[in-house]
Amino acid sequence: MQDALHTPVALDRCIALLSPAIESNANPIIIDATLGMGGHSKALLLKYSNLKIIALDRDLSAIKVATDNLSDVIDRIQIVHAVYDELSAVLANLGIEKVDGILFDLGVSSMQLDQADRGFAYSQEAPLDMRMDQSSGLSALDILNTYSYGDLVRVIRNFGEEKFATKIADNIIKARAAGTLSTTKDLAEIVKNSIPAPARRTGGNPAKRTFQALRIEVNQELSVLERAMPQAIEAIRVGGRLVVMAYQSLEDKIVKKAFAEVTESHSPLGLPFDLPNSAASYKLIISGSEGASEEEIAINARAQSMRLRALERVAA
Ligand SMILES: C[S@@+](CC[C@H](N)C(=O)[O-])C[C@H]1O[C@@H](n2cnc3c(N)ncnc32)[C@H](O)[C@@H]1O
């Protein structure tokens, strides 16, 4: 049985949002763009015995765990080690043109946070890695050791929305010169010492924002998502649905913008009707965004920051 920490977020809601698309095709195919431990995929496969899923994850250790968790339904899920901005290429390789639905449950999984040695958690002593795919790319420590002062400020300010980015970057440069920066605890301490005491008393652990910034930079999370959204929007058939859960505002903004671009009519403002070929090919199924229920947040803290958005394709 799964504990609350590993319970998929907004599971029933995601299934309800995807159901009309699944139920309107005799041989439905869904893409789970963020397989994780396979919680959402498993529930969908158990509910629909005719469903096939193509699942992506960039983390090989997540794929290993999910493969075990999904052993009962493994013949109906094809798992691909890929970054989700490769979605069009993955589908082309499989000879699939359109799918019935796509689910994105963004960010790191609770399993990745629990694996102390991955370096995602500021509360646990570990090497500064933070790569979701440990088989490639720069680690957080590589970035901290090689980026210029200006680039560190940019990353910490833009991706962490951190007011004290210049001071933190300054102290990172000093610590790396002194050889005292190698672990999550070292970085958390540098951040703490860079923030004036009064500012430290509010807003939770001050390291949270810098860790978020580094994680985004290490995994190129925002640019990957910006490239993935149009591919996902294009890949759903008419009547197909796209459901996205984001856990921080920078990602949610990207989803919101991508959805707005395809759900708004291209007719000149003020016309009481859409001109031919200018009506939007997609409609929002949720107006704006939705959060998790209070009951869910009470048992799963991770659900607290979740914003859910969903759209449906209504024309080719
Ligand atoms: C929040 S978890 C998904 C949890 C999953 N829905 C479940 O029920 O177990 C997010 C997963 O997406 C993966 N991921 C994050 N960004 C990715 C990307 N750009 N491409 C592919 N996988 C990604 C992470 O490695 C992680 O395993």
Domains of the chain: 4-105+221-313 (3.40.50.150), 116-219 (1.10.150.170)
Side chain identity at residue 49, one-letter code: S
Q: Which residues pair with 183 in a beta bridge?
A: 127
What is the distance between the alpha carbons of residues 256 and 275, in angstroms, rounded to a whole number?
25
What is the distance between the alpha carbons of residues 266 and 207, in angstroms, rounded to a whole number?
44
Instruction: Give, using CA atoms, the residue closest to atom 26 of ligand 1.
Output: 36
Mean per-residue pLDDT over the chain, rounded: 95
Average pLDDT over residues 304-309: 97
pLDDT in tens, 34-64: 999 999 999 999 999 999 999 999 999 999 9
Element (H, E) at 199: helix 197-200
CA of 29 to the centre of ligand 1 (A): 19
pLDDT in tens, 184-220: 999 999 999 999 988 888 778 899 999 999 999 999 9
What is the distance between the alpha carbons of residues 88 and 102, in angstroms, rounded to a whole number?
12
pLDDT value at residue 181? 97
Q: Any residues with CB less than 8 A from the CB of 265 and at least 6 apart, and which?
A: 274, 278, 279, 280
Helices (H) and strands (E) in the chain — how many of each?
14, 7
Instruction: Give, using CA atoms, the residue closest to atom 9 of ligand 1.
Output: 37
Q: For the stretch 138-168, what's the b/e string if a residue is b when 16 or more beta carbons lie within 10 angstroms of its beta carbon?
A: bbbbebbeebeeeebbbbbbebbebebbbbb
Q: Is 306 near ligand 1, meaning CB less than 6 Å away?
A: no
What is the distance between the alpha carbons of residues 16 and 289, in angstroms, rounded to a whole number?
16
Tell me the pTM.
0.95
Task: Report residue 61 as tokens.
Answer: 């250790």
pLDDT band at 15 (very low <50, low <70, confident <90, very high): very high
Q: Is 211 near ligand 1, meaning CB less than 6 Å away?
A: no
Q: Is the pLDDT of residue 95 over 90?
A: yes
Element (H, E) at 158: helix 149-160
Q: Is the pLDDT of residue 97 over 80?
A: yes
Q: Is the pLDDT of residue 254 over 90?
A: yes
CA of 35 to the centre of ligand 1 (A): 5
pLDDT value at residue 20? 98
pLDDT value at residue 266? 74
* 162, HSE (Cβ side, Cα atoms, 13 Å): 30
pLDDT value at residue 3? 52
Q: Which residues pair with 313 in a beta bridge?
A: 282
CA of 288 to the centre of ligand 1 (A): 23
Q: Is 8 near ligand 1, meaning CB less than 6 Å away?
A: yes
26 or 272, greater pLDDT: 26
Single out the residue of 159, 157, 105 nearest to residue 130, CA to CA.
159
pLDDT in tens, 258-271: 999 999 987 777 77
Q: Is the pLDDT of residue 18 over 90?
A: yes
Q: Is the pLDDT of residue 75 over 90?
A: yes
pLDDT in tens, 117-164: 999 999 899 999 999 999 999 999 999 999 999 999 999 999 999 999
Q: Is the pLDDT of residue 80 over 70?
A: yes
Q: Is the pLDDT of residue 242 over 60?
A: yes
Q: Is 132 near ligand 1, meaning CB less than 6 Å away?
A: yes
pLDDT value at residue 268? 74
Average pLDDT over residues 57-79: 97
Q: Is 69 near ligand 1, meaning CB less than 6 Å away?
A: no
119: left (phi over 0), alpha (psi -120 to 50) or beta: left
pLDDT band at 1 (very low <50, low <70, confident <90, very high): very low
